[in-house]
C-alpha cells in the first residue's frame, strides 16, 4: 500500500462524480471520511462548476467552515452565511466571442451571473437534471444581451461527447489566455475568467487559509480537475475518470459509485487499509 502523505493539512474535493454519486447522493461513508479528517485536524474544502448556492446543501451534513469555490473558483463564498469573498466575471468581449462560437457549433449555452442561472429553454436536455442538482430553477430568457457585463460562467451543453471534446479544444485555442475553458462533465464545457479554474482555487485557499499547496491533497474526476492535481502536493483521480485525467494524478481510487472518495481519504490520508 502506498505510504500516506502524513503532511496533508487540507483536502480539496470536486463535488459531482467525486464527493457525491452519479445520483448526487452524499453517502454515509463520505460524511464519515470528512468527519475523520476533522478529528485529525485536517481541513476539508470543496470546489465545483456549480454556483455557490448549488453547493449550500453540503454545508450542514459536512459541517463545512472553509470557503466554497463555486464556478470553478469564479465565486468564493464563506459558509455558513455565504458571504461573498471574491467574484471573477468574464470580460464582455470574451463572453460575446464564447456565445458566438457555441452557436456556430450548434451547442446551446447556459449563462450564470452572481444571482441567476439563465437558459434559453427550460425543457432542453439536462436542464431538469441540473435543477435537481443545484436545488433552484433557471430563469428563461430570449437573449443574454442584458447580462453580458455580469457573467461569471458560460456552460455549453450537448450529449454529443465527441462534439464537446472538439468544442472544448476549439474554445481553449480560440480564447487562449483570456478565459479558462474545460470539460466539467462529458456533456458540459465550462468557460470562466482565466483565473477561475481549479488550479487557481488551490492557490487561493493557500492564501486564505495559510496552508501551502504542497500540503494539500486534491480529488477529482474530470479534465478541469487536472489543474488542481498539478497545483497540489498530492492528488487522487476517481475510478471512472478518463486515462488522461488519471495519468495526472498521484493515485487512483474506486469510482464515485463505489465510495471512491471515502476510500481515497481512508487509504491515502488516514493511512487505513
Q: What is the pLDDT of residues 155-165, one digit of tens each?
A: 999 999 999 99
Average pLDDT on 49-55 reads 95
Percent of the chain with pLDDT over 90: 96
pLDDT of residue 270: 94
The whole-angstrom separation of Cα 191 and Cα 95 is 9
Average pLDDT on 223-236 reads 97
The whole-angstrom separation of Cα 7 and Cα 42 is 10
Do 76 and 99 fall within a single domain? no
Residue 5 has pLDDT above 90, yes or no: no
Residue 12 has pLDDT above 50, yes or no: yes
The whole-angstrom separation of Cα 73 and Cα 169 is 21
For residue range 94-131, what is the model confidence (pLDDT) as tens digits? 999 999 999 999 999 999 999 999 999 999 999 999 99
For residue range 128-177, what is the model confidence (pLDDT) as tens digits? 999 999 999 999 999 999 999 999 999 999 999 999 999 999 999 999 99
Answer whether residue 235 is part of any domain: yes
**Which pTM value belongs to this model?**
0.92
272 — pLDDT class (breaks 50, 70, 90): confident
Supply the CATH number for residue 137's domain: 3.30.1240.10
Residue 50 has pLDDT above 60, yes or no: yes
- Mean pLDDT computed over every residue of the chain: 95
The whole-angstrom separation of Cα 22 and Cα 257 is 7
Do 206 and 225 fall within a single domain? yes
pLDDT of residue 27: 98
pLDDT of residue 273: 67
Residue 64: count other Cβ atoms within 10 Å of its Cβ. Answer: 20
pLDDT of residue 1: 44
All three cell numbers of 248, joined, read: 495526472
Average pLDDT on 230-257 reads 98
Using an 8 Å Cβ cutoff, are 196 and 73 in contact? Answer: yes
Do 65 and 43 fall within a single domain? yes
The whole-angstrom separation of Cα 129 and Cα 53 is 16
**Boundary of a domain, candidates 168, 192, 216:** 192
Residue 2 has pLDDT above 60, yes or no: no
Answer whether residue 2 is part of any domain: no
Supply the CATH number for residue 48's domain: 3.40.50.1000
Do 103 and 183 fall within a single domain? yes
All three cell numbers of 192, joined, read: 470562466
Distances (CA, A) of 86 to 47, 83, 115, 204: 14, 9, 14, 10
Q: How far is CA 40 from its chain centroid?
A: 25
Do 181 and 219 fall within a single domain? no
17 — pLDDT class (breaks 50, 70, 90): very high
The whole-angstrom separation of Cα 192 and Cα 181 is 7
Do 42 and 127 fall within a single domain? no
Structural domains of the chain, count: 2
Amino acid at each position: 500500500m502506498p505510504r500516506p502523505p502524513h503532511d496533508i493539512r487540507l483536502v480539496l474535493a470536486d463535488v459531482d462524480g467525486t464527493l457525491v454519486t452519479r445520483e448526487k447522493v452524499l453517502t454515509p461513508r463520505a460524511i464519515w471520511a470528512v468527519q475523520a479528517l476533522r478529528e485529525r485536524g485536517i481541513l476539508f474544502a470543496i470546489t465545483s462548476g456549480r454556483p455557490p448556492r448549488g453547493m449550500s446543501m453540503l454545508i450542514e451534513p459536512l459541517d463545512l467552515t472553509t470557503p466554497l469555490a463555486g464556478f470553478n473558483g469564479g465565486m468564493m463564498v464563506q459558509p455558513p452565511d455565504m458571504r461573498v469573498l471574491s467574484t471573477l466575471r468574464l470580460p464582455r468581449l470574451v463572453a460575446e466571442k464564447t456565445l458566438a462560437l457555441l452557436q456556430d457549433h450548434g451547442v446551446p449555452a447556459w449563462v450564470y451571473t452572481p444571482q441567476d442561472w439563465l437558459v434559453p429553454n427550460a425543457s432542453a436536455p439536462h436542464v431538469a437534471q441540473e435543477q435537481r442538482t443545484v436545488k433552484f430553477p433557471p430563469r428563461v430568457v430570449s437573449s443574454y444581451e442584458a447580462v453580458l457585463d455580469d457573467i461569471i460562467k458560460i456552460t455549453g451543453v450537448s450529449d454529443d461527447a465527441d462534439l464537446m471534446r472538439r468544442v472544448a479544444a476549439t474554445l481553449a485555442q480560440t480564447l487562449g489566455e483570456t478565459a479558462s475553458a474545460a470539460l466539467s462533465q462529458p456533456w458540459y464545457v465550462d468557460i470562466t475568467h482565466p483565473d477561475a479554474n481549479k488550479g487557481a482555487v488551490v492557490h487561493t485557499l493557500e492564501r486564505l487559509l495559510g496552508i501551502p499547496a504542497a500540503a494539500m491533497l486534491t480529488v477529482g474526476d474530470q479534465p478541469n480537475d487536472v489543474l488542481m492535481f498539478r497545483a497540489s502536493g498530492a492528488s487522487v483521480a476517481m475510478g471512472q475518470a478518463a486515462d488522461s485525467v488519471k495519468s495526472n494524478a498521484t493515485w487512483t481510487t474506486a469510482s464515485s459509485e463505489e465510495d471512491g472518495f471515502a476510500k481515497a481519504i481512508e487509504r491515502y490520508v488516514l493511512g487505513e487499509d
